Structure formats: C-alpha cells, structure tokens
Structure 1
Amino acid sequence: MWIEVVEGDITRLEVDAIVNAAAPSLLGGGGVDGAIHRAAGPRLLEACRVLPEVSPGVRCRVGDVRVTPGFDLPARYVIHTVGPIWRGGNHGEAGELAACYRHAIRVASGLELTSIAFPAISCGVYGYPVAAASAVAVAVIHATQARDVAITLCCYSPETADAVRRALLT
C-alpha cells in the first residue's frame, strides 16, 4: 500500500475515486461536500437524489458509504461517507470515523480501483480534532488489506497536512 499526503483541492486530483465527507442527505453542503458537488456538476446532485433514503432525509448513515460516478471530476467515482459529529470523544466517534475509512477502502478494493483520495473526514464543521482524526485514519489505513490501492490523504491546509504526517510517523 502506498500512502501520500498532499495539500490542495481534492476535486482536482487525478485518482480513481475521491471520498466525499458528505451530509447524510448526500445533497451537497459546505466544505468538501459543497466543493465536490460544484466541481462534479449538476449530474452529481441528480445521481444522489435517486439514491434511496434509509430513513426520512437520510441516504447515508454515519460510517456508511454510497458510490456515484465522478461526472465532471478527474476522478471516475465519488465515494460518499458521513462522518461523525464530534461530541467530546466519548460517544463512539472514533469507531464511526474508522468505519468511514474502512468502508470506503473496501468499496475501492471491490471496484478494483488502484487509487483513492480522502479528505480529513469530520474535521470541518463536524468539529473532530484534526490530530485525533488523523490518528484514526492512519490506523485504519494501516490495518486494511488493500495493498493494491494507492491512498492519498488530501489536506486543505498546511496544519492538517502536518497533523496527518505526524500520525503517519507514530
């Protein structure tokens, strides 16, 4: 398995799939979710709208994933996942965040993809501390058996990239 940390815009990466830190509705939002929807174009919203709801207004539960085409993105696929909202760290957040990474990697392997890029899931408006989230992400990535998948951890800020690099060293 190959792991790379990059600073930049995940919507510009030429990988097989990018992971969207999505809202449960999958209908777009702020942060990474909004950026991916804007860059992929209106067909992404249309594709998300036809995904079945698992409960009213929810197309993807926390820790689960859904897959759509990438449409106008350089990536062929978008793997949507819903990360946990940080509530202090004692409410199962680490397990829910780990499920996001684990399920996305499994889907990528099942689709026989060779490259996948992750944002810092839950670290924006969901408030997950970057260092703690980075430790979870790195632990899951190392524990997976997806040896044929190159993983890019795409960080929007130098501070996030530094936290991810520190987690890779531990």
Structure 2
Amino acid sequence: MNLSLTLTINGERREIVLDDPRVTLLDLLRERLHLTGAKKGCDRGQCGACTILVDGERINSCLALAISYDGAAITTIEGLAEGDKLHPVQQAFIEHDGFQCGFCTPGQIMSAVGLIAEGQACDDPERVREAMSGNICRCGAYKGITEAVIDASGKLSAGKERDAA
C-alpha cells in the first residue's frame, strides 16, 4: 500500500510516496532524500543528533513517523545557510568552538535555532544548558555550545530590534 504526503523541506515543496507507514522522518530525510545532516545517534530520542525543525518547532526526527507530518514545513541543517552566508547560529558555533568531532553539531545547531525562536535563550548559561539538555555531546563541547547559543541569541535579538525600528 502506497501512501502519499506533501512536505515542504528547506523551502522546497516535495511530493513523496511511502511504501511503508512506519518510515520515520529521519529515515526519509537520510535514506530517501539524501539529506544526511540529521544523524542517527541513539534512534530512541535520547541524544538529539536527529533534531530538525517541523513548523518551527524542534523535534527528534527518529521518533516521528513521516506520514504524521503531511503538509508540514521541515527545516534541516542543510536549509539554514543562505548560499555562502551561514545562519548566525552556525557562525556562532564556529566562533565559539561549539563542536569537536562534529557528529552532534547539526542536531545541536537545529536545537539552538529552535530554542532561540521559542524565546527560551537568554544570557543565562544555566538556562541555555537546561533548554539544550536533550542534545548530548560525547566530546564535551558544552562550554562552546552554550557560549554560541548565547551569542547567536543576542545577535538575532539585536537584528529583530533593528528591523522593528
């Protein structure tokens, strides 16, 4: 039995036919659409390596059945940069050494983008660490990650204030 769904992925509308209703968003993205930024870490929703944004909210794509998101707008790490210009969160991760091996970095960045959009980021490192606690970094780059989130949050807030003025 084939199931059809429509997703807008990184701004591009995609018509997708699934032959199995059990396909997760992570497997759809990685194996069928070749968007390999989201990683399969634990495959149990415990590490955050597969974090993506669905309609602006961060989710663990390994736990999400693709068919449940028909009509949704999905943003992956591949959709953040605008050409050669990195998203402010991506740039902040580079500036603050917010990664080591890089395996968790796409999920960390997507989670950071989501929490900033949710208004949960601020200049309090403890609050940022709590909001990012669903993303595990086995290398222990948490100091740089926290600094990057705080920096990017400040820059994005300043940009919004300038735009509103």
Say yes or no: TM over 0.5: no
TM-score (norm 1): 0.28
Larger Rg: 2
TM-score (norm 2): 0.28
